[in-house]
Structure 1
Amino acid sequence: MMATAHCSGCSSAGEEALHTEASSRAHSASNSGCGKPPWSSSESKAKLFQEWNRAFLLVCAGGLFVDPLFFYALSISRTCMCVFIDGWFAVTVTVLRCTNDAVHLLNLWLQVRTAAYDAGRRASPDEEGCKAIAKVRRLSFLKSVLFDLFVILPVPQVVMWIVAPALIRRGMTTTVMTVFLIMFLLQYLPKIYNAFCFLRRLQNLLGYIFGTIWGGIVLNLIAYFVASHAAGACWYLLGIQRATKCLNQQCMATKGCALRTVACMDPMYYGVTERQRLAWAENDKVRSMCLDSSDNFEYGAYKWTVALVTNSSRVEKILLPIFWGLMTLSTFGTIESTTEWLEIVFNIIIVTSGLLLVTALIGNIKVFLHATTSKKQALHLRMRSLEWWMRRRHLPRGFRQRVRQYERQRWAAMRGVDECEVTRNLPEGLRRDIKYHLCLDLVRQVPLFQHMDELVLENICDRVKSLIFPKGETITREGDPVQRMLFVVRGHLRSSQALRNGVNSHCMLGPGNFSGDELLSWCLRRPFVERLPPSSSTLVTAETTEAFGLGASDLRYVTQHFRYTFVSEKVRRSARYYSPGWRTWAAVAIQLAWRRYRHRLTLTSLSFIRPRRPLSRCSSLEEDKLRIYTALLTSPKPNQDDVAA
């Protein structure tokens, strides 16, 4: 019974909402599909939170870049040959880390607020099914929040400002590097997992996170760069540990030297004072053994760090390890190594990680490039097939150019996606909902449909087809049977209608206008006539035009099933007002009435009574024009009786 319990709060469909790591895990914990957090009550809010998710992903990448910088605060004084912490660099890195943690806290606050708002909207708390689902969600959300709090704990700051100075004062210089490495692994690996899960959920939600394929390529390169930076920082830390080990060995071999000598008197060194270390600082043999060259001591894979551990340039300290990381991860198998177990394990991890990262990077970039070029290749193949067909049929040059122009414009507008083909194989309900979502706003722009209810609009949206016409294309000729009604979405159509004696009427149809209203009169005609009505005008595209087409059979279906809507007075007035045929006839009638009125004023202004004569004997130019306008007025009107029916 619990499986069949119905929850009105859970079954309500929410809109696209803030999609964060905690909320994603909380919602994916239950397979029932009960509603999503309705943070976004409008489209603008949904876009705002999408942008926030993208920005927070970059913040996560920034956090992964900041954490390895703590290693570079450790350094060795070349003058005193002792280990110290670069104070100003430590302050800078701490500020960066705290700023990043503050953004994480803000995102966590948004998660909690989203969950609270979502829980407040759910109804029927007494039903057992919803109670179980709510309990699972609460536990999952609590775990995710605790996990997010763990990855932003100030562990590096505590180690940097409290633990490391205390160890340096006691002379435990090599232990400092070990503590830094353990701290880094304990918090950095969960942070990588957190960012990776957030990335995957964004991909499932948005597809291409930054909207383009090239954004995905850049994101993969950023991930590879961050991995190289982390590997280089670990390499620097182990390198400075190897240099410190060399100094400790030489100190133990030197008479009167204690291990505290290798630790500077001021663990936090800000470059303000210089401490003389007397005999130890003047020991050139130790300096040449450990700091001047890498040939006198077994540095192994850390050979290049000898030039860095005493370097005062912070930029060089950061850039060279990044270069080493990029080079090592890209060219795995070229690392020298000693027999020390920690170095061997480090090299194995670097080589394996490089193999996996390079393979993943190449694979992802290949997928992205294939997605970029596959549509272009499909266009080229289609154009080649069309060229072969046109040559085989010996089409004239003008026809070939029109075919090429249409294909290019259709491809540019739709990006090679055939909407009809995409929606054809979907379930009927899903297809109807998708077309209703895509077409409703555009169909409502048509004034003819503004007075119709939702049921009629839904059936119209289900039957319209998206059409694209290139510039200069003749859609319909005057006198041809009308095949469909066209509702202009983008672009303009030039409508021309022949009147009498070579006089033509022209008008422009833009977005929101329609043509083919003869079909509406044809569908409402009683008794019904199978023959399609002739077109009263010629339609030519003035530019590339996108439109919705409603075929004659589809329009007949809609008008037959919803006849009560189409015979209403509002719809009839809208059809007459926006119909090009009725507008042309109205313009002719108004002009004729105005000219007859002016002619009558002219006759009444004469001082004598003009004798009546037959019209056939009139020779004046004004009377000839009046005769022409009379003929226009008596011309057939656009299916007046049919619409009135």
Structure 2
Amino acid sequence: MSQFVNLEEGTSGQLPMGHRNGTNTGISGHIQRYTLDNSGIEVQGISSSGRESTRPFYEKALLHWKKILRIFWPLVKISPFIWCANKISIEPFFLYDTVINSDKKCVKIDNTLNTVGLILLPFQILIIIGSFAFLARARRVGLLKKRLHRKILFLLLLLDSLTYIPIGPDVLLTNAIWPDPELSNRRSNFYAANLFLLQYFLTVILLYIIFTRATRTWATLAKTTWAKAAFNLLLYVHGGHVFGGLWYAFSIEKEIGCWKKACKHYALECPLGYYDVCDLNSPDYKFINEFCQTKTQNTAAYDFGIYHDAHESGIVEMWNFPRRVLHCFRWGLQNLSGFGQNIQTSTDAWENIFVISITIYGMVLFVFFIGNMQIYLQSQTKRSEMISQKKQEIEQSKSFKKLSENLQKQIKRYQPEKWEVTKGGVEFGNFFNNLPDDLIRNIKRQLCLELLLKVEEFRRWSEELLDELCDCAKPVSYAEQAEIVRRGSSIDEMLFLVQGKLRTYSLTSVDTGSAASPLRFETSINHLEDGELCGEELVAWFQADLYSSNLPISTRTIQTIKKVDAFALMSYDLQNVFIKHQTTLSTSTQVQAPPPADSQPQAPPPPAKPPAQQPASEI
């Protein structure tokens, strides 16, 4: 006998020999797999007859692990989205980890950002693990069996591999600080920068794919009108953040390039990597100020291009980190929103590529935003037309015209945007959707009370009981040619027609006067129209036996000729009101004629409960 563990209740039991569940059973000590829940996370339990004392520990551990997975599994599902958003939000901050010392012409490192990066690294690793766990889960449950799904998985893994590579922004200035004499400093710098920019674009593509698939599979997100607008704003803000950070890093690289050109211009031997040493013994390189005039736009000596504003404002020399980020963020948003039209570039090729990237990204975001706005406006226009059509149909219905002018105004005024539109037109129950209780009660009084008074028994009842009957009445609708009651079935409701037409079929026996065939049955057909009712047999039935648990049998078949709107009074509701009516009559009789002294008062019977048979569908 092999053991099994009940993960829901924390108990263990035995399975018969030969039991098969996709794993080997019946052999002590074999590993058996158990599925925790619908999250698809599986654990392995070891069943061994020699470890009876340790089984409770494993059971408790499995139960605790299951609870933890249930709590954090929803976050695992969106971990790829969180990872991408986290990547494009945090990594650009490391573009600001260098500051220029203009006096000594050197570059210093802001180690504060490196400390923050080490703190955030474990969280990034957890998000990466969650991303691949979600993809593995999707493949295990069979979501990726089709060839198309496998291609999508391959694309996601390729984008993941390129976006998850830890190309820290610190490498942008690695060669500027520790130059390699065999390579061109400037070229390697820009290669690293454009690699980071390419990685950012791939991350945005992956983020867009994840968001698009989420809107197609998550009903809640698909119905949210502001989701796409928020996503577009997220990409716009992050774009300004990234391009602002790159602009800052390229500005420092441009400054270093000017220093090198100044050394060549004055035919001076500048030591290798001199701009990385900011100590007291640093030589005086103030002659560079004459060549690299950052405060004035001297394009004859050296053209800083789009980076002139960074040097003129002194932002590359500022140690105040928030001010640096805010200034560059403003620059990124301003030029992204203007598609880079106001940027004056130099003749440098990589600088122009950077500006082209800003223009293309801004245009893509603009087209994406315009498309979302167009979809939103179309949906709002369609929704407005549907509400207008619904309002017009309700105003033209007979039920609406029967209401007083005051109630008509209240219905048209109260939350028309919440009215639901059905394919078959306006349903009778839509009068009562999203309306306050007091307004619903008043509508029922005006539409239903007049119909109730057509029953002779109800005319003798008090106003309080009639109001209770109105409250019990439920608005129902029946489609054309629908069968409401079949001959021989029980009658479980009274139907008061507000709008529509019914046809009834009943069999009538006719005496032929012949001994061979004394009786002959004929079909009698009648019609019921607006203001009439059916199911009045229930009134006589409860008058004869108030506490009967059975219901009367219908002697006719009732079918709709065209669409019917009506109020349905269910048998159990009618029986309860009858009991209250009988109790009221008994109480009033006892007050008028006191009972003998030896008589004891009897408790009223309990109210009737709804039968097992389901009533007509409500709208």
CA contact (8 A) 2:108 2:276 kept: yes
The farther-off stretch of 508-517 and 52-61 is 508-517
Letter in 1 for 2:447: I
Q: Which residue of 2 aligns with 1:475?
A: 447
CA contact (8 A) 1:476 1:535 kept: no
CA contact (8 A) 2:171 2:192 kept: yes
Q: Distance in 2 between matches of 1:290 and 1:594?
A: 106
Q: Which residue of 2 aligns with 1:486?
A: none
Partner-residue secondary structure (3-state), 1:507: helix
Equivalent residues in 2 for 1:95-114, closer than 5 Å? 95-96=119-120, 99-114=123-138
Q: Distance in 2 between matches of 1:372 and 1:466?
A: 25
Q: Offset at 1:198? A: 0.8
Equivalent residues in 2 for 1:606-621, closer than 5 Å? none
Q: Distance in 2 between matches of 1:157 and 1:340?
A: 22
Q: Distance in 1 between matches of 2:89 and 2:309?
A: 22
Q: 1:225 aligns with which of 233, 237, 243?
A: 237
Letter in 2 for 1:354: G
Q: 1:286 aligns with which of 284, 289, 295?
A: 289
Q: Offset at 1:514? A: 8.0
Equivalent residues in 2 for 1:318-397, closer than 5 Å? 318-332=325-339, 333-369=341-377, 371-372=379-380, 375-376=383-384, 379=387
Letter in 2 for 1:116: R
The answer as to 2:208 corresponding to 1:196 is yes
1:62-116 Cα shifts (integer Å, max 9, x gaps):
3222233332223322232123432222332454465334313213213313422
Q: Which residue of 1 aligns with 2:196?
A: 184
Q: Offset at 1:240? A: 1.9
Q: Which residue of 2 aligns with 1:418?
A: 421
Q: Distance in 2 between matches of 1:234 and 1:79?
A: 24
The answer as to 2:89 corresponding to 1:65 is yes
Instruction: Identify if the C-alpha distance between structure 1 residues 535 and 76 changes in structure 2 by more than 3 Å, giving closer, same or farther.
Output: same
Q: Distance in 1 between matches of 2:577 and 2:422?
A: 36
1:313-359 Cα shifts (integer Å, max 9, x gaps):
22222222222222222223222122222222322332333333334
CA contact (8 A) 1:478 1:497 kept: no
Q: 1:85 aligns with which of 109, 115, 120?
A: 109
Question: Tell me, which stretches of 5 or more residues in structure 2 are unaligned?
Answer: 1-37, 41-68, 477-491, 497-501, 509-523, 539-553, 561-568, 600-614
1:490-538 Cα shifts (integer Å, max 9, x gaps):
xxxxxx9542588854427779978992149x9898878745536989x
CA contact (8 A) 1:246 1:290 kept: no
Which structure shows the bigger proportion of residues in strand conformation? 2
The answer as to 2:306 corresponding to 1:301 is yes
Q: Distance in 2 between matches of 1:376 and 1:506?
A: 37
Letter in 2 for 1:517: E
The farther-off stretch of 361-370 and 242-251 is 361-370
Q: Distance in 1 between matches of 2:406 and 2:367?
A: 45
Partner-residue secondary structure (3-state), 1:323: helix
1:577-598 Cα shifts (integer Å, max 9, x gaps):
x22x322222233444566678
Letter in 1 for 2:363: L
Q: Distance in 2 between matches of 1:557 and 1:383?
A: 29
Instruction: Identify if the C-alpha distance between structure 1 residues 518 and 575 changes in structure 2 by more than 3 Å, giving closer, same or farther.
Output: closer
Instruction: Identify if the C-alpha distance between structure 1 residues 258 and 181 changes in structure 2 by more than 3 Å, giving closer, same or farther.
Output: same
Letter in 2 for 1:403: Q
CA contact (8 A) 1:171 1:263 kept: no
Q: Which residue of 2 aligns with 1:316?
A: 323
Q: Offset at 1:161? A: 11
Instruction: Identify if the C-alpha distance between structure 1 residues 514 and 378 changes in structure 2 by more than 3 Å, giving closer, same or farther.
Output: closer
Q: Offset at 1:195? A: 0.9
Partner-residue secondary structure (3-state), 2:126: helix
CA contact (8 A) 1:231 1:325 kept: yes
CA contact (8 A) 1:76 1:309 kept: yes
Instruction: Identify if the C-alpha distance between structure 1 residues 602 and 399 changes in structure 2 by more than 3 Å, giving closer, same or farther.
Output: closer
CA contact (8 A) 2:156 2:206 kept: no
Letter in 2 for 1:279: P
TM-score by length of 2: 0.59
Q: Which residue of 2 aligns with 1:216?
A: 228
Letter in 1 for 2:364: L
Question: Tell me, which stretches of 5 or more residues in structure 1 are unaligned?
Answer: 1-16, 20-44, 123-132, 266-273, 425-463, 483-495, 538-551, 559-573, 607-642
Partner-residue secondary structure (3-state), 1:276: coil
Partner-residue secondary structure (3-state), 1:351: helix
The answer as to 2:499 corresponding to 1:518 is no
Instruction: Identify if the C-alpha distance between structure 1 residues 525 and 230 changes in structure 2 by more than 3 Å, giving closer, same or farther.
Output: farther
Report how many aligned residue pairs link the two structures.
Answer: 452
Q: 1:403 aligns with which of 377, 394, 408?
A: 408
Which structure shows the bigger proportion of residues in helix conformation? 1
CA contact (8 A) 1:300 1:338 kept: yes
Instruction: Identify if the C-alpha distance between structure 1 residues 358 and 144 changes in structure 2 by more than 3 Å, giving closer, same or farther.
Output: closer
